[in-house]
């Protein structure tokens, strides 16, 4: 059988195959809870290949009394998540109690596994392949299900590089079990593959992607008119959670230096999170209320408008795995200004795509912003480069992993 016939045979077999997705994050039916939107987008092209896909999203429920003592989300209070179905994808939400400590997270996994197993049995969910997203708790739950149901298991490690190193240093036997016992591990960047290969020889790099039909070049003036932005201003745009990891405070400090040289720059930050009030206070204390605007939640349908309306996309992260918004910005033909962390330098490979600096360097970031605002960018070059990262192309690589996994499973039976 030649390669083409073999591929056709595999795709035909997939039509009778059920896939189980495990994740702590998966958007609600209206994409208002946007955590894990990249997992939902990944399924855009995968779902048509399968008979049925079940997604079990395991939502950590932190008691409200603990929220006041730290920057934690009380997610059950925030969104009342309800199960839903679209096409052949069935989304299930399971809440589990946990406290914001490593001890609690570790021991809550035992309880969560039994809760997931019972749910699967109660709902009579049938599956032939398990794909877990994030090591905690999905990776651990996935390999426990593998042991019970004898199904091949894949784990995608999304966590940022710093967090992954912290997980490894803790010598958490549950996470080590997830890495060792997965049939394949997908890592979203290349730099961390040697770390994971200490636990599992089957580790490959597949980056995140973007939806080309949404994130593509659109006339900047048209987008600005739709969201009521002035054409005589230079616009910087960020969209991310308002959390420490994203480094917003350093971008704010950088802007305090930028406005000394240019008065025509406005920096818009989309997203929500526990740092909203402190960031707004910092903006005010630096006298930047006219130059930096916190947008709050930006609906999924409007993100592309903001991407295309801006001149530069900025992401000042302290740590990353491989940020989806980077690919979305590039898909819109926008230069990327960011930091040399995670998988970012594996994508921003030259100065025709963007500029990088080390994290926590507001002086250098300010210089890059000023340089980028004067530079003549080749937007077509950027958007053409980004096409290799469309979810359609990324999903082809994921399907190859599924094929290897299922074929090896067949040989062992």
- CA nearest to 379, candidates 304, 321, 329: 329
Q: What percent of the chain has pLDDT over 90?
A: 79
Note the pLDDT tens digit of each residue in 286-313.
999 999 999 998 988 899 999 999 999 9
Residues 6+ apart with CB under 8 A from 212: 331, 387, 390, 391, 392
177 and 140 Cβ atoms separated by less than 8 Å? yes
127 and 20 Cβ atoms separated by less than 8 Å? yes
So what's the pLDDT on residue 71?
46
DSSP 100-165: SSHHHHHHHHHHHHHHHHHHHHHHT---SEEEEESIIIIIHHHHHHHHHH---EEEEE-S-HHHHH
The domain ranges of the chain are 3-209+390-412, 220-389
Q: Is the pLDDT of residue 181 over 90?
A: yes
Note the pLDDT tens digit of each residue in 11-52.
888 999 999 999 988 998 888 766 788 999 999 999 999 999
163 and 385 Cβ atoms separated by less than 8 Å? no
So what's the pLDDT on residue 409?
67
* Chain centre to alpha carbon of residue 401: 20
- CA nearest to 42, candidates 209, 262, 168: 209
- Average pLDDT on 140-159 reads 96
- CA nearest to 225, candidates 153, 305, 301, 163: 305
Tokens of 1: 């059988």
CA angle 285-247-310, nearest 5°?
85
- CA nearest to 332, candidates 387, 293, 373: 387
Region for residue 275 given its phi and psi (left: phi exceeds 0; alpha: psi -120 to 50; beta: otherwise): alpha
DSSP 227-265: TT--TTSEEEEEES-SSGGG-HHHHHHHHHHHTTT-SSE
User: What does pTM read for this prediction?
Assistant: 0.90
**CATH of the domain spanning 3-209+390-412:** 3.40.50.2000
Q: Average pLDDT over the chain, rounded to whole?
A: 91
Instruction: Give the 3-state secondary structure of residue 308.
Output: helix
The domain made up of 220-389 is a member of CATH 3.40.50.2000:
yes
**Rounded CA separation 271/33 (Å):** 11
Helices (H) and strands (E) in the chain, counts: 18, 14
- Angle, to 10 degrees, between the axis of helix 173-181 and the axis of helix 140-149? 60
43 and 89 Cβ atoms separated by less than 8 Å? yes
Q: Quick one: pLDDT band at residue 68, thresholds 50, 70, 90? A: low
Q: Quick one: pLDDT band at residue 74, thresholds 50, 70, 90? A: very low
Domains 3-209+390-412 and 220-389 fall in the same CATH topology: yes
Q: Is the pLDDT of residue 91 over 70?
A: yes
- Average pLDDT on 301-329 reads 96
Query: Between the CA of residue 55 and those of 12, 19, 181, 335, 391, what are the distances in Å?
Result: 22, 8, 21, 34, 18
Torsion 358-283-221-375 (CA) sign = negative
Tokens of 102: 């490593």
């Amino acid at each position: 059988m030649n390669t083409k016939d073999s591929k056709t045979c595999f795709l035909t077999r997939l039509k009778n195959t059920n896939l189980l997705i495990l994740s702590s994050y998966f958007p609600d039916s209206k994409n208002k809870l946007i955590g894990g939107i990249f997992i939902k987008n990944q399924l855009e092209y995968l779902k048509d290949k399968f008979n049925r896909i079940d997604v079990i999203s395991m939502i950590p429920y932190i008691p409200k009394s603990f929220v006041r003592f730290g920057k934690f989300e009380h997610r059950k209070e925030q969104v009342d998540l309800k199960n839903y179905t679209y096409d052949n994808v069935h989304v299930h939400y399971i809440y589990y109690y946990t406290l914001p400590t490593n001890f609690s997270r570790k021991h809550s996994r035992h309880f969560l596994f039994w809760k997931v197993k019972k749910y699967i049995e109660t709902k009579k969910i049938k599956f032939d392949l398990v794909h877990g997203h994030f090591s905690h708790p999905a990776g651990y739950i996935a390999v426990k299900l593998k042991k019970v149901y004898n199904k091949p298991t894949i784990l995608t490690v999304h966590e940022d590089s710093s967090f992954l190193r912290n997980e490894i240093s803790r010598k958490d036997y549950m996470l080590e079990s997830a890495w060792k016992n997965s049939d394949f591990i997908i890592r979203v960047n290349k730099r961390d593959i040697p770390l994971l290969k200490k636990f599992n020889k089957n580790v490959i790099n597949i980056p995140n992607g973007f939806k080309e039909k949404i994130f593509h070049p659109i006339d900047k003036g048209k987008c600005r008119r739709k969201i009521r932005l002035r054409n005589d201003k230079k616009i910087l745009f960020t969209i991310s959670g308002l959390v420490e990891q994203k480094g917003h405070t350093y971008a704010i400090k950088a802007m305090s230096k930028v406005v000394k040289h240019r008065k025509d720059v406005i920096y818009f930050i989309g997203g929500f999170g526990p740092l909203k009030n402190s960031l707004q206070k910092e903006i005010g204390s630096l006298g930047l209320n006219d130059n930096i605007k916190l947008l709050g939640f930006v609906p999924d349908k409007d993100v592309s408008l903001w991407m295309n309306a801006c001149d530069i996309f900025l992401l000042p992260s302290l740590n990353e795995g491989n940020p989806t918004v980077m690919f979305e910005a590039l898909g819109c033909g926008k230069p990327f200004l960011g930091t040399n962390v995670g998988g970012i330098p594996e994508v921003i490979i030259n100065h025709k795509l963007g500029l990088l600096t080390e994290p926590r360097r507001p002086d250098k970031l300010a210089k890059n912003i000023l340089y980028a605002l004067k530079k003549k960018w080749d937007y077509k070059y950027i958007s053409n480069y980004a096409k290799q990262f469309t979810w359609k192309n990324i999903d082809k690589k994921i399907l190859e992993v599924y094929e290897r996994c299922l074929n090896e499973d067949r040989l062992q039976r």
